[in-house]
Amino acid sequence: MRESRNPFRLRASESIEMDALFVKLFGPGVLELLKGATPLEGIHFLRSAPGGGKTTLLRMFTPGPLLHLHAQRTQEDFRDLWKGMKELGSLDDNGSTLLGISLSCEHTYATLADMEADPATQRRLFFALLDSRVVLAGLRAALTLGRREFPRDLGLIRLVETNGVTPPPGITLPCNGNELFSWARETEEFICRAVDSFNGLAECPIRGSDTLSCLSWFRASSIQMDGQPVAQRLLVMLDDVHKLAPKQREDLRAALTSSRTSTGVWLAERLQALSTDELLAEGAIAGRDYQRVIRLEKFWQEYPRRFEQFVFNIADLRARQTPGREMQDFRSCLETTLDDVEWNSTFERAKNVVRERVLARSGGRGLFQQWIEDRERLTGTPRQLALAWRTLEILVERELRRSQPAFDFSLDADELAEKDDSNLQTAAELFLAKEFNVPYYFGPSVLAKLASANIEQFLTVAGDQFEDLIANRLLKPGELLAIPPGRQEEIIRKASRAWWQQIPARVPQGQEVYRLLSAIAEFAHGYTHQPTAPNDPGVNGVAITMADRDRLMNQDYHRLHPSHARLAKLLAAALAHNLLHAQHDYKCKGKLFMVLNLNRLLCVEHLLPLEYGKFKEKTLDELAGWLERRPTQKQFVVD
Amino acid sequence: MAKDFELATFWSRRLGQRERNIIFILALGFDPRMCDGVSVLATAGGKGQRDAVLIEFNEGPDSPSHALRALVEENRDKLNKVLAGRGLISHKSLKVLDTDGRRVEAVNAARLFLSIAEFSKYDDIVLDVSAMPRGIYLPIVAKLLYLRDEARRANATAPLPSFHVLVSENVQLDSRIRQEGVEESAQFIHGFSGGAQQEASANIPCIWMPLLGEGQGAQFRIIQDFVKPNEVLPVLPSPARNPRRADDLVIEYREILFDSLRLDPRNFIFAHERNPFEVYRGLSAVIARYRRSLKPLGGARFVLTALSSKLMSLGPLLAAYELKPENIVGLAHVASHGYLLEPAKPDETPKALSEMFGLWLAGEYYE
- pLDDT averaged over chain A? 87
Residue B131 sits in the same domain as residue B211: no
B22-28 and B124-128 beta bridge pairing: parallel
Distance of CA B119 to the CA centre of its chain: 21
A406 pLDDT higher than 70? no
Residue B216 sits in the same domain as residue B306: yes
The interface predicted TM-score of the complex, written ipTM, equals 0.87
Residue B293 sits in the same domain as residue B225: yes
A136 pLDDT higher than 90? yes
Whether B185 and chain A come into contact, CB under 8 Å, resolves to yes
B37 pLDDT higher than 60? yes
Per-residue pLDDT at A284: 46
Per-residue pLDDT at A398: 87
| Percentage of chain A exceeding pLDDT 70 | 93
Per-residue pLDDT at A570: 94
B162-169 and B355-362 beta bridge pairing: antiparallel
Distance CA B160, CA B116 (A): 8
Residue B124 sits in the same domain as residue B87: yes
Distance CA B304, CA B313 (A): 10
Per-residue pLDDT at A282: 64
Per-residue pLDDT at A3: 66
Q: Summarize pLDDT for A267-294 with one digit per residue, the tens.
A: 999 887 777 777 777 644 444 445 578 8
* Concatenated DSSP letters of B304-321: EEE-S-HHHHHHHHHHHH
With respect to residue B339, please indicate whether it lies within any of the assigned structural domains: no
Residue B207 sits in the same domain as residue B135: no
Residue B124 sits in the same domain as residue B12: yes
Residue B19 sits in the same domain as residue B167: yes
Distance CA A446, CA A464 (A): 14
Q: For residues B302-316, give the mean pLDDT.
A: 94
Q: Give the number of other Cβ atoms within 10 Å of residue A467's Cβ.
A: 17
- Residue A537 Cα, gap to closest chain B Cα (Å): 34
Per-residue pLDDT at A526: 92
Q: Is the dihedral of CA A555, A559, A560, A561 positive or negative?
A: positive
B337 pLDDT higher than 80? no
With respect to residue B149, please indicate whether it lies within any of the assigned structural domains: yes
With respect to residue A142, please indicate whether it lies within any of the assigned structural domains: no
Per-residue pLDDT at B347: 64
Residue B34 sits in the same domain as residue B170: yes
- Residue B81 Cα, gap to closest chain A Cα (Å): 35
Q: For residues B63-78, give the mean pLDDT.
A: 81
| Banded model confidence at residue B69, pLDDT cuts 50, 70, 90 | confident
| Banded model confidence at residue A324, pLDDT cuts 50, 70, 90 | low
Task: Tell me the longest C-alpha to C-alpha distance in chain A.
Answer: 97
Q: Where are the alpha helices (DSSP H) in A420-545?
A: 422-436, 444-450, 455-475, 485-506, 510-528
Q: Summarize pLDDT for B237-286 with one digit per residue, the tens.
A: 999 988 999 999 999 999 889 888 888 999 999 999 999 999 999 999 99
| Banded model confidence at residue A141, pLDDT cuts 50, 70, 90 | very high
Cβ–Cβ below 8 Å for A504 and B261: no
Q: Which residues of B touch A152 (CB under 8 A)?
A: none
- Chain A interface test: which of B197, B204, B226 (most A C-beta within 10 Å): B197
Provide the residue range defining the domain that includes A359: 341-436
| Percentage of chain B exceeding pLDDT 70 | 93
Per-residue pLDDT at A317: 82
Contact B48, B21 (CB under 8 A): yes
Which residues, at least 6 apart from A497, have a Cβ–Cβ distance to it below 8 Å? A605
Q: Which residues of A touch B64 (CB under 8 A)?
A: 509, 511
Q: Is the dihedral of CA A91, A97, A99, A100 positive or negative?
A: negative
Give the closest of B181, B199, B200 to A508, CB-based: B181
Q: Summarize pLDDT for A479-506 with one digit per residue, the tens.
A: 778 899 999 999 999 999 999 998 988 8
The SS3 call for residue B231 is: strand
With respect to residue B249, please indicate whether it lies within any of the assigned structural domains: yes
Q: Which helix (H) or strand (E) holds B145?
A: helix B134-153
Cβ–Cβ below 8 Å for A197 and B192: no
Residue B194 sits in the same domain as residue B317: yes
A608, with CB counted inside 10 A (0-12, 13-18, 19+), is buried
Q: How far is CA B221 from CA A145, A269, A335, in A?
A: 31, 18, 32
With respect to residue B260, please indicate whether it lies within any of the assigned structural domains: yes
Residue B330 sits in the same domain as residue B356: no
Per-residue pLDDT at B348: 60
Numbers of helices and strands, H then E, in chain B: 12, 16
| Percentage of chain A exceeding pLDDT 90 | 50
Q: Which residues of B touch A116 (CB under 8 A)?
A: 111
**Domain count along chain B:** 2
Cβ–Cβ below 8 Å for A188 and B199: yes
Q: Summarize pLDDT for A445-479 with one digit per residue, the tens.
A: 999 999 999 999 999 999 999 999 888 877 777 77
Q: For residues A384-406, give the mean pLDDT.
A: 84
CATH code of B197's domain: 3.40.50
A368 pLDDT higher than 70? yes
Cβ–Cβ below 8 Å for B188 and A111: yes
Hey, which residues 80-109 in chain B have their CB within 8 Å of chain A?
98, 100, 102, 104, 107-108
Residue B188 sits in the same domain as residue B323: yes
- Residue B188 Cα, gap to closest chain A Cα (Å): 9
Cβ–Cβ below 8 Å for B181 and A245: no
With respect to residue A69, please indicate whether it lies within any of the assigned structural domains: no
Q: Which residues of B touch A197 (CB under 8 A)?
A: 191
A14 pLDDT higher than 60? no
With respect to residue B179, please indicate whether it lies within any of the assigned structural domains: no
Q: Summarize pLDDT for A164-199 with one digit per residue, the tens.
A: 777 888 888 889 999 999 999 999 999 998 988 888
**Domain count along chain A:** 1
Q: Summarize pLDDT for A537-566 with one digit per residue, the tens.
A: 999 999 999 999 999 998 899 999 999 999
pTM of the predicted protein model: 0.85
Provide the residue range defining the domain that includes B111: 2-174+344-366
With respect to residue A31, please indicate whether it lies within any of the assigned structural domains: no
Q: Summarize pLDDT for A558-588 with one digit per residue, the tens.
A: 999 999 999 999 999 999 899 999 888 888 8
Distance CA A65, CA A63 (A): 6
The SS3 call for residue A50 is: coil
**Higher-confidence position of B344 and A316:** A316
With respect to residue A350, please indicate whether it lies within any of the assigned structural domains: yes
Per-residue pLDDT at A183: 95
Cβ–Cβ below 8 Å for B193 and A108: yes
Per-residue pLDDT at B177: 73
Nearest alpha-carbon partner for A69 in A55, A53, A81, A54: A81
Q: For residues A415-422, give the mean pLDDT.
A: 76
Per-residue pLDDT at A285: 44
Residue B211 sits in the same domain as residue B317: yes
Cβ–Cβ below 8 Å for B197 and A107: yes
Give the closest of A3, A5, A510 to B180, CB-based: A510
With respect to residue A42, please indicate whether it lies within any of the assigned structural domains: no
Q: Summarize pLDDT for A291-307 with one digit per residue, the tens.
A: 578 888 888 888 888 88
Q: For residues A332-353, give the mean pLDDT.
A: 91
Distance CA A401, CA A531 (A): 10
With respect to residue A403, please indicate whether it lies within any of the assigned structural domains: yes
Per-residue pLDDT at A580: 94
Give the closest of A106, A188, A504 to B198, CB-based: A188
Per-residue pLDDT at B103: 83
A422 pLDDT higher than 70? yes
Hey, which residues 312-341 in chain B have their CB within 8 Å of chain A?
327, 336-337, 340
Per-residue pLDDT at A42: 87
